Amino acid sequence: MHETVIADSIIKEANKHGDVKEIYLEIGALAHIPKSDLLECMKKLVTWKIHAIEKKAKVRCRCGFTGEPKILDRGHDYFLIECPECRKVPKLLDGKDIKIVRVVVN
């Protein structure tokens, strides 16, 4: 499963800091996998307390719009977005990454 590979890489990175007790994640609204799927997978793999926030996507369009796009479809490894003003495909500026924000160790 794709989410297991991503969860495993997060777990390995967090474990570099010591005996992990809690982890804080920032998950982009358009990350490779949806926040709920990633958290469900991670909870099966670790007993840590997991805190996660979803970061909204931000786009810039040729029409001048800058802000959150309209998400038309979303799945594992794909998304379809459009500008809410002109309905063209905007340039994605932010909201695709998964970041470890903080790791709490024993």
Q: Could you tell me the maximum CA-CA distance found in the chain, to the nearest angstrom?
A: 51
Evaluate whether 94 touches 57 at the Cβ level (below 8 Å): yes
Query: What integer is the mean pLDDT of 13-34?
Result: 95
Token match 């670790």: residue?
46
Q: Is 51 a residue whose pLDDT tops 80?
A: yes
Q: Give the DSSP H or E segment for 26.
A: strand 20-28
List, in order of start, the domains of the chain with CATH numbers.
Answer: 2-105 (3.30.2320.80)
Q: What is the CA radius of gyration of the chain?
A: 16
Query: What integer is the mean pLDDT of 28-56?
Result: 95
pTM to 2 decimal places? 0.87
Burial 39-67 (b: 16+ CB within 10 A, else e): bebbeeeeebeeebeebebbbebeeebee
Query: What integer is the mean pLDDT of 41-57?
Result: 96
| Band of pLDDT at residue 76, cut at 50, 70 and 90 | confident
**Structure tokens of 94?**
């932010």
DSSP state of 31: S
